[in-house]
């Protein structure tokens, strides 16, 4: 019969990699709660309109990458391509703006984008996403970056490059957009890549971060976004940089960092690695004042970021496989019940391990014990089931001791304490 396969760009995350994801999530919960963030779980499905109105109808994410479904009754549903829009919708739905002046929310989980899969670029990927709503202060921007770096340190990732830019605001950016649009219109349209030729009219800022070298060369003399900004935006960005310097955080200014989502204003940032290939951005974010209002909510400023967990996992390396304490085997069918109960008692006492499900030759059981990686193999019923003794075999050095079933529990606890003490020495 033919096999049903996995969809391209959608991964099964087996151990030991799944442990990396669990440890990232645990570290995120610990670090973010130190900064007052609380976990919000939002749906994977939303009305498609939410994304067109937040990320932007002309963006690649909305135009080309969303998984859109017929939701019945003329409604269109989409699998979430990112978390920010859903968090904003939830914030508005719950009326959080009226309940607290600042809302600090994080959310973890899968996102979906119909992209061409490659290393670090998946169709289903996982983000750790943080949003701080309610403050327009540059302190909030700086604190998000500080928190992101602290989280990355906690999971052992250092040495990334922090790239920063300011995109201006609703007052100054339209002027810049017009100037950039006029500049692009003055170029030979055929010299731009087909994407940029289209974006020049619809979303000219995106031409600045095109990776095609011809487009980059053609835009070397484009008007400067930094020069075009109003004094409020300039001083906001200067203050963000000041706060980062106060924490000795290194950064690079990158005037081409416009990001692929339309909701940003003022500060934008990315953390980039030189060690994971072309898909080098492990986190990205920025300020999005006006987004909540554009979605029908109050006029509340916000700033946030998201990290890509698959890309972080590439930087974390393989974790050590956990070492179980025991593997229990029954030497005969009559001893299976004792073996089963012993395993349960040991687990109740916080030992980790498994029990062989069937009674086969001792040789084959020992092979299973070795494969399990356990520190000790407990063999129950070797002397017959009436007076079952348990043999404890140390799987590292092969030494064995034997004890009656009634003593095994305290002996085993003692062994663990002893081994623990020797590893501490």
Q: Does 325 bind ligand HAM (CB under 6 A)?
A: no
Contact with ligand HAM (CB under 6 A): which of 24, 31, 32, 82?
Answer: 82
Q: Does 289 bind ligand HAM (CB under 6 A)?
A: no
Q: Does 393 bind ligand HAM (CB under 6 A)?
A: no
Provide the minimum distance between the beta carbon of 43 and ligand HAM in the complex, in angstroms, as a whole number. Answer: 16
Q: How many other β-carbons are positioned within 10 Å of the β-carbon of residue 220?
A: 6
Q: Does 27 bind ligand HAM (CB under 6 A)?
A: no
Burial of 121 (0-12, 13-18, 19+ CB in 10 A): middle
Stretch of residues binding ligand HAM (CB under 6 A), selected from 182-190, 228-236, 276-284, 351-359: 276-284
Stretch of residues binding ligand HAM (CB under 6 A), selected from 118-126, 334-342, 379-387, 388-396: 118-126
Burial of 188 (0-12, 13-18, 19+ CB in 10 A): exposed
Q: Where are the beta strands (DSSP E) in 68-186?
A: 68-70, 76-79, 103-112, 124-133, 161-166
Q: Is there a cis peptide before residue 204, judged by omega within 30 degrees of 0?
A: no
Q: Does 56 bind ligand HAM (CB under 6 A)?
A: no
Stretch of residues binding ligand HAM (CB under 6 A), selected from 112-120, 154-162, 353-361, 390-398: 112-120
Q: Does 236 bind ligand HAM (CB under 6 A)?
A: no
Q: Tell me, by CB under 6 A, how many residues bind ligand HAM.
A: 28
Instruction: Please count the helices (runs of H) and the strands (runs of E) in the chain.
Output: 17, 16
**Distance between the two ends of the chain, CA-based, in angstroms?**
57
DSSP code at position 188: -
Contact with ligand HAM (CB under 6 A): which of 80, 89, 104, 311?
Answer: 311
Contact with ligand HAM (CB under 6 A): which of 62, 79, 180, 283?
Answer: 283
Interface characters, 126-155, with ligand HAM (x: CB under 6 A) = -x-x-x------------------------
Q: Does 165 bind ligand HAM (CB under 6 A)?
A: no
Helix axis angle, 405-424 to 336-348, nearest 10°: 40
- For residue 398, what are its two tokens? 């092969």
Instruction: Look at residues 165, 69, 61, 80 and name the one whose alpha carbon lies nearest to residue 127.
Output: 80
Stretch of residues binding ligand HAM (CB under 6 A), selected from 174-182, 212-220, 307-315, 317-325: 307-315
- For residue 95, what are its two tokens? 């009326």
Instruction: Look at residues 87, 85, 84 and name the one whose alpha carbon lies nearest to residue 96.
Output: 87
Contact with ligand HAM (CB under 6 A): which of 308, 353, 381, 388?
Answer: 308
Contact with ligand HAM (CB under 6 A): which of 282, 369, 377, 395?
Answer: 282
Contact yes or no for 324/351 (Cβ under 8 A)? no
Provide the minimum distance between the beta carbon of 39 and ligand HAM in the complex, in angstroms, as a whole number. Answer: 15
Contact yes or no for 85/105 (Cβ under 8 A)? no
By residue count, the chain amounts to: 425
Q: Does 84 bind ligand HAM (CB under 6 A)?
A: yes
Residues lying near ligand HAM in the complex (CB under 6 A): 82-84, 113, 115, 120-122, 125, 127, 129, 131, 260-261, 281-286, 288, 304-308, 310-311
């Amino acid at each position: 019969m033919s096999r049903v396969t996995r969809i391209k760009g959608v991964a099964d995350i087996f151990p030991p990699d799944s442990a990396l994801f669990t440890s990232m999530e645990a570290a995120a919960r610990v670090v973010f709660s130190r900064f007052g963030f609380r976990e919000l779980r939002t749906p994977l499905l939303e009305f498609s309109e939410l994304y067109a109105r937040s990320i932007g109808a002309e963006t690649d994410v909305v135009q080309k990458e969303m998984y859109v479904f017929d939701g019945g009754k003329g409604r269109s549903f989409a699998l979430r391509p990112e978390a920010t829009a859903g968090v904003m919708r939830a914030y508005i739905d719950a009326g959080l703006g009226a309940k607290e002046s600042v809302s600090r929310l994080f959310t973890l989980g899968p996102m979906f984008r119909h992209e061409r899969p490659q290393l670090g670029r998946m169709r289903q990927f996982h983000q750790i996403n943080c949003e701080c709503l309610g403050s327009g202060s540059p302190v909030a921007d700086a604190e998000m970056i500080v928190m992101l770096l602290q989280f990355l340190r906690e999971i052992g990732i250092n040495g990334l490059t922090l790239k920063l830019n300011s995109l201006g605001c609703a007052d100054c950016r339209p002027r810049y957009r017009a100037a950039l649009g006029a500049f692009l219109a003055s170029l030979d349209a055929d010299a731009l890549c087909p994407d940029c030729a289209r974006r020049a009219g619809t979303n000219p800022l995106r031409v600045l971060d095109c990776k095609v070298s011809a487009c980059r060369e053609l835009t070397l003399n484009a008007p400067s976004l930094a020069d075009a900004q109003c004094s409020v935006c300039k001083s906001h960005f200067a203050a963000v940089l000041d706060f980062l310097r106060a924490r000795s955080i290194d950064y690079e200014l990158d005037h081409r960092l416009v990001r692929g989502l339309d909701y940003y204003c003022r500060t934008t940032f990315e953390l980039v690695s030189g060690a994971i290939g072309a898909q080098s951005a492990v986190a990205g974010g920025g300020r999005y004042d006006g987004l909540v209002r554009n979605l029908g909510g109050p006029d509340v400023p916000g700033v946030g970021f998201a990290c890509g967990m698959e890309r972080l996992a590439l930087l974390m390396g393989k974790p050590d496989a956990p070492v179980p304490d025991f593997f229990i085997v029954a030497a005969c069918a009559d001893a299976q019940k004792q073996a089963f109960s012993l395993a349960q008692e040991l687990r109740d006492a916080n030992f980790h391990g498994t029990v062989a499900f069937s009674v086969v030759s001792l040789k084959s059981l020992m092979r299973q014990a070795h494969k399990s990686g356990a520190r000790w193999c407990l063999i129950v019923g070797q002397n017959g089931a009436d007076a079952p003794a348990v043999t404890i075999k140390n799987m590292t050095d092969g030494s064995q001791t034997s004890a009656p079933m009634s003593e095994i529990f305290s002996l085993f606890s003692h062994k663990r304490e002893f081994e623990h003490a020797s590893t501490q020495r």
